[in-house]
Amino acid sequence: MAVRFDPLLALWGEPWGPSAAAGPAASIRTISTDSRSDLAGALFVPLVGERFDGHRFLEAALERAAAAVVQLDRIEPAAVQALAERLGRPVWPVQDSLLAYQQLARLWRRGLAAPVVAVTGSAGKTTTRELIRAALASLGPVVASSGNENNDIGVPLTLFKASGSTAALVVEMGMRGLGEIERLSLCAEPDLAVITNIGTAHIGRLGSREAIATAKCEITTALRADGLVVIPAGDPLLERALDDVWSGRVLRIGLVDELDGFDPSLPPADLVGTIEGAADAPAAGFAAERSRLLLEDGTVIPMPLDGRHNARNLLLAMAVARELGVSQPALSALAVEVPGGRSRRVAIGGVEVLDETYNASPEAMLAALELLAMAAPDPAAARFGPCRRYAVLGTMLELGDQSLVLHRQVAARARQLGLDGLVIVAAGEEGEAMLEAGAGLARLVRVDTPAQALDPLASWLKPGDLLLLKASRGVALEQLLPLLQAVLI
pLDDT of 29-88, one tens digit each? 778 898 888 888 888 999 988 888 888 888 889 888 888 888 887 776 677 878 888 888
Q: Are residues 306 and 192 both part of a single domain? A: yes
Q: Are residues 365 and 326 both part of a single domain? A: no
Are β-strands 192-195 and 228-232 bridged in parallel, bridged antiparallel, or unpaired? parallel
251/176 Cα distance (integer angstroms): 26
Q: How many residues does the chain have?
A: 489
* Contact indicator for 298, 276 with CB cutoff of 8 Å: no
Q: Are residues 312 and 348 both part of a single domain? A: no
Q: Are residues 392 and 483 both part of a single domain? A: yes
Domain for residue 431, yes or no?
A: yes
Query: What share of the chain has pLDDT > 70, as a percent?
Result: 89
Q: Are residues 410 and 325 both part of a single domain? A: no
Q: Are residues 409 and 375 both part of a single domain? A: yes
Q: Are residues 444 and 365 both part of a single domain? A: yes
Domain for residue 49, yes or no?
A: yes
Whether the pLDDT of residue 410 is over 70: the answer is yes
Task: Please report, for the domain that includes residue 380, its CATH number.
Answer: 3.90.190.20
Point out which residues pair with 351 in neighbouring strands: 348
Residue 328 pLDDT: 82
Domain for residue 104, yes or no?
A: no
Helix (H), strand (E) counts: the chain: 16, 20
Q: Are residues 84 and 122 both part of a single domain? A: no
Report the predicted TM-score, pTM, of the whole model to 2 decimal places.
Answer: 0.84
Task: Please report, for the domain that includes residue 288, its CATH number.
Answer: 3.40.1190.10
Number of domains in the chain: 3
Domain for residue 106, yes or no?
A: no
pLDDT of 231-273, one tens digit each? 999 999 999 999 999 999 999 999 998 887 788 899 999 999 9
Domain for residue 121, yes or no?
A: yes
Domain's final residue, options 67, 95, 123: 95
CA torsion angle 249 160 196 242 (round to 10): -40
Q: Are residues 200 and 312 both part of a single domain? A: yes
Residue 9 pLDDT: 44
Query: What share of the chain has pLDDT > 90, as a percent?
Result: 52
Better-scored residue on pLDDT, 334 or 198 = 198
CA proximity to 99, closest of 177, 21, 46: 46
pLDDT tier, 421 (very low <50, low <70, confident <90, very high otherwise): very high
pLDDT mean over 262-285: 76
The dihedral through the CA atoms of 405, 210, 216, 371 has a sign that is positive
* Contact indicator for 120, 216 with CB cutoff of 8 Å: yes
Domain for residue 339, yes or no?
A: no
- Please state whether the peptide bond connecting residue 90 to the residue before it is cis, i.e. omega within 30 degrees of 0: no
pLDDT tier, 287 (very low <50, low <70, confident <90, very high otherwise): low
Residue 337 pLDDT: 80
pLDDT mean over 90-112: 87
Name which of 173-187, 227-241, 347-361, 416-430 the model is least confident about: 347-361
Task: Please report, for the domain that includes residue 11, its CATH number.
Answer: 3.40.1390.10
457/222 Cα distance (integer angstroms): 49
Whether the pLDDT of residue 177 is over 50: the answer is yes
pLDDT of 111-151, one tens digit each? 899 999 999 999 889 999 999 999 999 999 999 999 889 99
Q: Are residues 275 and 361 both part of a single domain? A: no
Domain for residue 387, yes or no?
A: yes
136/116 Cα distance (integer angstroms): 12
Q: How many CB atoms lie within 10 A of CB 325?
A: 10
Q: Are residues 310 and 199 both part of a single domain? A: yes
pLDDT mean over 308-330: 93
Residue 82 pLDDT: 83
212/400 Cα distance (integer angstroms): 13
CA proximity to 405, closest of 436, 370, 427: 436
DSSP-derived secondary structure for 370-423: HHHHH-B--GGGGGG-S--EEEEEE---S-GGGHHHHHHHHHHHHHHTT-SEEE
Whether the pLDDT of residue 5 is over 70: the answer is no
Domain for residue 48, yes or no?
A: yes
Q: How many CB atoms lie within 10 A of CB 383?
A: 8
- Report which secondary-structure segment, H or E, holds 129: helix 125-135
pLDDT tier, 413 (very low <50, low <70, confident <90, very high otherwise): very high
Q: Are residues 175 and 260 both part of a single domain? A: yes
Domain's final residue, options 70, 95, 120: 95
Q: Domain of 388? A: 344-488
Residue 196 pLDDT: 97
CA proximity to 399, closest of 199, 201, 135, 208: 201
